[in-house]
Every structure is written in C-alpha cells, then in structure tokens.
Amino acid sequence: MGFYYEKVVRPVLFRMDPEKAHDLGVTALDYLGRVRPLCRFMEWWNLVEPPRPIKLFGLEFPNAVGLAAGMDKNGRFWRAGPALGFGHVEIGTVTYRQQPGNERPRVFRYPEHGAIINRMGFNNEGAEAIASRLRQQLGGGGKTRRIPLGINIGKSRIVPLDQAVEDYLHSFRSLVDYADYIVVNVSSPNTRDLRKLQAEDQLDVLLAELRESNLSRARKLGQQPTPLLLKIAPDLSFREIDNVLETLERREVNGIVATNTTVERPQPMHRVRESGGLSGAPLHRRSLQVVNYIHRCTGGRLPIIGVGGISGPETAGAMMDAGATLVQIYSGMVYKGPFVAKGIARALAPRQSNWI
C-alpha cells in the first residue's frame, strides 16, 4: 500500500497546490469516517493492537502511534483514525474564535528533504462550531470511541496577549466534554506573540487557570479531571525548558507534547527563506534532543508524546529510545501515505508496556 501511494497517488497529489491536496484528503477521510462498516473492516486490517495496550493518563492506547494536530483541524475525519491504523488522534489546533488563518500560499513542500513549511495560522471553524460537530458525531455527547481523542487548543489571533487566558478558557469549556485529553498549544510560530506564553510568568497563570477550571468541572460532575498536556516549541533553550518543566510540575500538568514546528532552518534547509514552521525530517534531530532532555530532567516521570520528523519505524524507535511514550505523525503521513501508522505500530509493538 505504501509503494502504491508513493509511486501512483503521491505524484498526482504533489502536482496540486499543497493546501488543495490536503483539503481533498480531508474530504475523502471524512466520507470514510461516515461509512462505519468499511471503517470497521479497515480497522480490523490496519489497527495494530498488541495484547497489552499502553495505559497513560487513565486512558488506553491500542498502539503508540497517533495523528498529530494540524491534519484534522476541524474534527472532520478523526473517526477514520483506527481504520488508518492510528492508536489516537489529536484534532486542532482549535481557537475560540473562528478564523481563516494567514494569507495563501501558506504551505510549501520540499520532497527532496522530506520537509514541509507552513504558516497556516490556526485556520479553523472555532471552538463552538467544532464542539457542535463532535456532539453530532458522538450521538449527543459522551466519550465513546475506539481510540483516544485529543483536542489541541490555541489562542485566537485577534485576542491580545493580556486576554489570552480567558480565550483559552472559553475553548477549554466548549470542548472538554468531547476530549479524552486537552493539549494547550503555546508554541506555534504562526500566530503573533503566541510563543511568549511559554515564558514562565505567562505560562504559570495560563496553566493555573485551566487547571482550576478543569478541577471545578470534575468536582461538579463527580469524575476525574480531563488530562491536560502542554505542547512546546523545539526552539526553546534548555534553560527555558527547565522553566517550563518547573511550571508543569507546580501546576500538575499531566504530560508534554514535544515538539511543534521550528522557525530554524537546519541542514539541509539552511538556504530556504520561506517563513513559517518547518516540520518533517530536518526537525527530527532537534525534537529528539528536546524529548531526551525532558526525559532525563524528569527522570521519566513526565509522559512525553514525541513529534517531529517521524516517518517510519527507525525514526519512531529513536523517539521512543529518547524517552517518548507515544509518538505522533504529520509530515510522515503526507510523504508516506495514510496507512503509514500500521507499519510503525507493528515495529513498535514489542516495546509496549503498561503505564499506570
């Protein structure tokens, strides 16, 4: 299947504008997700489920491979995730306000480097519209699905930094009923001033307010709080990462997603001048460094979802060796096809262990 995609399907898609090709893929997977019998058959064929699932955040992940945020921004096709072989799906980034994102063109492929640069700018339909879609997909509410669903939330572009906390809280409250876990995205390079929220004072206030809202909701409903994770940039210095980790411990955040895209242009991309966040193979080395640093600093106590340049068993295995418990794919799906998760999950299956 991978050979057919790379030799037949990908050349056709790569002759299209990158964003149009992405939208075509989203539409196709949306239709797939609506055909439940076909999804169940494909799930039987593609979803690798070792005898022992990965237990993390009080959830069970059938395998270690997830679909990263950015692919399904509006929660349209996540139900097809198991049919493609993914053990979890993260939708978003979702902002409270509907927004079109940055001007086009805003996505650029570099096939010779296995890389993508995007400056999308959190284009999405807004938290309330996406919550309505999830409610309909789930038959009115609840969290019944085959694999865990994460929801990634970010700051609305028109909201100034001093009002960011309330903006995140609006998104959290709109979407938390449908999420198995929530990821707080403060690390995209494509929304002005967003990365300033990674600074210790800003981050502490944001996470404190989200945690209190989470706990208050849990007490009211008589259930456990929804797991809360933070997604960080690969461009932070190690000292800045130390400050982030201290804040996460103080605010009892459940995990970290490392990393987002980079504004750096590592080899072999050093001559590329297109602005935006770089993902794919050139990001892999730095993401590994960040994941390993977090793992060593926390003694392995803080669960890490590793993202960045994962395209096959070797790169996924390296991320696990660095300290990640789960991995996520974005650019790897663009270059290797929609069923790339199956081969990676099969290769990682012997590593799976139970997490409490």
Ramachandran angles phi, psi of 122, nearest 5°: 55, 45
Burial of 105 (0-12, 13-18, 19+ CB in 10 A): exposed
- The owner of tokens 């994102």 is 101
Q: At what angle do helices 36-46 and 18-34 cross, to 10 degrees?
A: 100
Q: In the chain, what is the greatest distance between 2 CA atoms, to the nearest angstrom?
A: 55
CB 248 within 8 A of CB 268: no
**Has 188 been annotated as catalytic?**
yes
Pairing mode of beta strands 59-61, 54-56: antiparallel
CA 343 to chain centre: 20
Q: 42 is written with which tokens?
A: 């494909």
Q: For residue 62, what are the contacts with CB-CB under 8 A and spacing of at least 6?
A: 47, 48, 49, 50, 53, 54, 82, 87, 146, 147
CA pair distance 179, 150, nearest whole angstrom: 6
CA pair distance 284, 9, nearest whole angstrom: 25
CA pair distance 327, 320, nearest whole angstrom: 8
Angle at CA 109, nearest 5°, toward 103 and 111? 175
- pLDDT reported for residue 141: 54
Each of the 356 residues of the chain gets a pLDDT tens digit; together they read 777 899 999 999 999 999 999 999 999 999 999 999 999 999 999 999 999 999 999 999 999 999 999 999 999 999 999 999 999 999 999 999 999 999 999 999 999 999 999 999 999 999 999 999 999 999 865 556 899 999 999 999 999 999 999 999 999 999 999 999 999 999 999 999 999 999 999 999 999 999 999 999 999 999 999 999 999 999 999 999 999 999 999 999 999 999 999 999 999 999 999 999 999 999 999 999 999 999 999 999 999 999 999 999 999 999 999 999 999 999 999 999 999 999 999 999 998 754 44
- pLDDT reported for residue 356: 42
The 8-class DSSP code of residue 103 comes to P
CA pair distance 347, 50, nearest whole angstrom: 11
Domains of the chain in sequence order? 2-351 (3.20.20.70)
Of 188, 279, 311, 331, the active-site residue reads 188
Helices (H), 47-163: 81-84, 127-137
CB 161 within 8 A of CB 193: yes
